[in-house]
Copies of this chain bind each other. A is one copy, B any other.
Amino acid sequence: MLQEKILATAISQFGKQGYDGASTRQIAGLCDTAMSSITYHFGGKQGLYLSCADHIAARISERLGDIAAQLQGREAEMDAAQARERLLHLLDAIARLMLDPDSEDWVCFLVREQQNPSEAFDRIYNGVMGNLIESAVLLLARIRPDMPEHERRAQVMLLYGQALVLRAARASVTRGLRAERLGDAETGILRRMIRANAETIFNGGMP
């Protein structure tokens, strides 16, 4: 399917080079087609970019949607131990996402987009990201009912930050770990430590 090929190529190019850096000519060229195909199928560069955002939202759903769907509205029924396991699982899934080479392009797209959010960010946030944050907040409410709501929200963002850094500051992380790249060994350590930190934080302030 030409449209899908263009979409995948565009996400890769936008992710690598940013909106302005990527060119429709080059994207079309990589798909062995003419630039005007993009106009025809997506209405232009801007339209292509927004379609990329929708596609990314769909991919996040594919990958994390199961977890979020299982949670949908059930957070309130869980006991603290169940909620804890679910949240740890969610955090690990996000960490794996940030470490997965296959997701590099579109996570880069997303990180770039957050630097100056446009309509594309709205689509992704409203599509799935917001749900992932809200689910985590609800789970944390079961784990730490003592904590004020606004602190729980802050805590969720900080927990996600530990995963995000693995992609957003990849260049610093590889150097900081004195590694050439994040291989299986580094990946394993980082995932274990994110989990351990989260568990420690869940217990924080509680006897």
Contacts and interface: CB of A to CB of B under 8 A. Distances in A.
Contacts of A15: 115
A89 B133 CA distance: 29
Dominant SS at the A interface?
A: helix
Interface string A180-205: 00000010011001101100110111
Nearest to A189: B154
Interface in A160-174: 160-166, 168-173
Interface string A110-145: 011111110001000100011001000100000000
Nearest to A199: B204
Interface of A: 15-21, 108, 111-117, 121, 125, 129-130, 133, 137, 150-151, 153-158, 160-166, 168-173, 175-178, 186, 189-190, 193-194, 196-197, 200-201, 203-205
